[in-house]
Amino acid sequence: MKFIAGCIGFFTLAASAVAGDRVVTQEVKKEPTKFTKGSFEASYDSAMLFGLSNPNHYIIAPQMISGLWQPFERSDKWWLPDAFSVGAFGIAIPIVHGPETFYGGGGLMARLRWLPTDYPISFVADWRMGMGAIDSVDKRDTQGQDFTFVLQASGAIEWQATERMSVRLGVMWNHLSNAELSEPEHRNVGLDAIGPQLGFGYQF
């Protein structure tokens, strides 16, 4: 009888310890803090874009590094994006096909996110506006001068691979123009290009 009582006591203590561990685990578990007010995100995006109207048939490969900060709490309104971030970016554009060879610059950007609660998939929209320099050439239908403005807009589907790391695939539009600053000496033709985009993000 003592042996049986001892076994019962042992198993009772073991069960209590396991239950206690579960309670502690539940107490220390916290919700992910990503995309909340004050959070920071580092982002890298790469694209291969094809010229739309310029007769030089440009092909460009923009590479962007961005730092973003979220100034507001996540929205609970259905008609607003769940998360809104602002930041700065640096850009390098190798020109795969076209009269020029390279563009470099930087500027400001905004990122909107729509975040379904039950899935690790979200929709992301980016808007970038900046300036920089291109190695302009004196040929027909080129950019006219070195100093050039850049505008970008993109939309992507994003997969939250881990609690902090995300991968996105989408479509990007890119516009280069000197806003007619080169005229009348050189015609401001500008360049519009569109194509696929791949990006990675890490939330702090």
pLDDT in tens, the chain (204 residues): 544 444 445 445 545 544 454 444 444 444 444 678 888 999 999 999 999 988 889 999 999 999 999 988 877 777 788 889 999 999 999 999 999 999 999 999 999 999 877 778 999 999 999 999 999 888 877 787 889 999 999 999 999 999 899 999 999 999 998 887 777 777 778 899 999 999 999 998
Tokens of 24: 């502690």
Residue 89 · residue 109 · CB < 8 Å? yes
Q: Phi, psi (5° rounding) for residue 30?
A: -125, 155
The CA distance from 197 to 204, in Å, is: 23
Distances (CA, A) of 137 to 98, 119, 145, 178: 10, 49, 8, 14
Helix (H) or strand (E) holding 169: strand 165-177
Looking at residue 16, its pLDDT comes to 53
Q: What is the reported pLDDT for 34?
A: 66
- What pLDDT is recorded for position 36? 80
pLDDT value at residue 23: 43
